[in-house]
Structure 1
Amino acid sequence: MPTWLVTGGAGFIGGNFVLDAVASGVRVVNLDALTYAGNLDTLSPLSDNSNHVFVEGDIGDRVLLDALLAEHRPDAVINFAAESHVDRSIDGPAAFVQTNVVGTLVLLEAVRDYWRAMPTAAGSAFRFLHVSTDEVYGSLGNTGKFSETTPYAPNSPYSASKAASDHLVRAFHHTYGLPVLTTNCSNNYGPYQFPEKLIPLVIAKAIAGEPLPIYGDGKNVRDWLYVADHCAAIRAVLERGRIGETYNVGGDAERQNIQVVDTICRLLDERRPRQDGKPRASQITYVKDRPGHDRRYAIDATKLKSELGWAPQHSFEQGIADTVDWYLENQAWVGRVLDGSYRLERIGAGHAEAAA
């Protein structure tokens, strides 16, 4: 049975990945700092599973990392740990640099030293996989897609911090020989996503009868990737990817933000109509755009598809319907999340006003 150290495994993508990995017969040591977006409720199906070891802690804690690596001897490290919300990075960029840059550096140094001390056969099979984002590439015009050779041009404190972490991972491969892999994904959606992100936020606000805020004209375009497809892509890269390479992961599902919101409203109207009979699209309201809002992202995943045989298995129509159904069926999970400090408010609004 392989053992993987997964960092950030109580978050949205990491939590989905851990659930899938353990179900497939992997022993997972799950390190998560349990910040606002980390949620042990996501991992409740594994509460009695001896193949899941949860440790609360930070990737910037070198002493803890050394102890975990020495005790559990993982065959791979998969790094999901990151601050990831653009609006929060506008309000407080320092936290993003601390986790995404400094934390990643500490993790890389610990893993490098662990890998160097491994027996030859185990060291040859070991992998460090770093999960990143398409936002490091900047913004696209009306045509074209991001490929693995697209120059980096991050436009937010969040994407700049992720770009820095990507560069560190690359440098540790070229300087020290660490067997690394990097994935850059498009916008994820699906179960267990913290409700500050567009899709779960719109679902929660629509159910509550609140206004549905749309930045700018609503025509910013994202390539939407169902989280289960992303997890499958990470497994493919981890198991078959070429050392030192980057693989872009996209859902082949470009949609304007307003199209996404309209779809959610229609699905909710079908499943849980408003008592007054009005369509939920009537709750849509346009608000001042976020500073530096990238206009369009689109991923070219040809390399991943052709080299490793991966392809998304969920159309956007099926994935968004499944996502809406999951949130409707798991309102208790949402309620427990919202018992914390986040109450569906807009983040970064003051800075948006100052930039206007």
Structure 2
Amino acid sequence: MSEFASIIETVRSHYGDGFVPLHAPCFQGEEKTKLIDCIDSTFVSSVGKYVDEFERQIAQFTGAKYAVAVVNGTLGLMLAMRVAGIQSGDLVLTQSLSFVATANAISMLGAEPLFLDVDSSSLGMSASGLEDFLATQTEHKNGHLIHKASGKPIRGCVPMHTLGFACEIDAIAMLCQKYGIALIEDAAESLGSFYKGKHTGTFGEIGVFSFNGNKILTTGGGGMLVTDNERLAKEAKHLSTTAKKPHAWLFEHDEIAYNLRMPNLNAALGVAQLQQLPEFLKEKRKLADFYQGAFSDSRGFGFLVEPDNTQANYWLNAITFDQSESAQAFLADSNAQDIQTRPLWTPMHQLDIYRHSFKTDLPITESLASRVVNLPSGVLCRE
């Protein structure tokens, strides 16, 4: 019998026999009805009632004043940083323990990521680590925050709410305000997560969500910027629609911009999915409670629970092994038994493309990346 039999049996007791995906979408509401309605309307591209409705509903759900729908979270991050003032040659503080999209979005603007360590309880950027870095490795010159070692300006900070666990975002926000840094939250994984009763993505200038096929709510592909700043919202929408000046028939554009507007088809799917989000969140918390109870007396690993003062969406449930060798062995064993599990991402500073980026010491990042494994976490659709 496998040394990981108890974990395998726990997953099987919830999901049953056969292949168990990590996080499959669940379509059991009005998805088909709304998609057909969208097709019948002929407005299937970037103009249509569902895009506007999806924006309105996401803003309402998160408590933000404005929302701007885009084609995916990666380009949403890039757009958010551009309107927040990030420029080519700038440094942007972020975490190495992240999906590559975060660092790529920074690089797309010609800026450079500077990697900071994470907190072991949230897997998100360490507020104390950020404070220490800002106090010891930066200085103000001519109205700009400068990285002492490189002489480059630091204009932005992009923490991520990893796996749906909120980082210590209020402390991070206060530090960014103190040092004059734009705060853009990578909230791609955290729709339905809260910190001290406030939704993630609403603490900084802009927050960005993802609606990829494996997220808690999917539009097939898509993302959403949320903000309380009317100017930033208008600029983001303008740049996402090729910077076209409003006119009934003329095509005039006043900036070099992008074609990033979410299609109406995708938004129709999102509106239908959003109707079910409260139930999805309820079911995911029940699954997290089930896993936590099942693994409460386990040895050699522990279940990752939401930090204090937070309410997680438990997008992906995770266990942390005491030893990295055990994590690697479990990944091989579970996947061989048709149970899809995965590690966290290879830390950005260990990828060839970012190996030479500026960074602080990253012991927690490297430890967690080698020991954390995600378990199947999808919502079971009703028969």
TM-score normalised per structure 2 = 0.32
TM-score normalised per structure 1 = 0.34
- Of structures 1 and 2, the one with the larger relative CO (CA 8 A, separation 6+) is 2
| Larger Rg over CA atoms | 2
Structure that is richer in helix per residue: 1
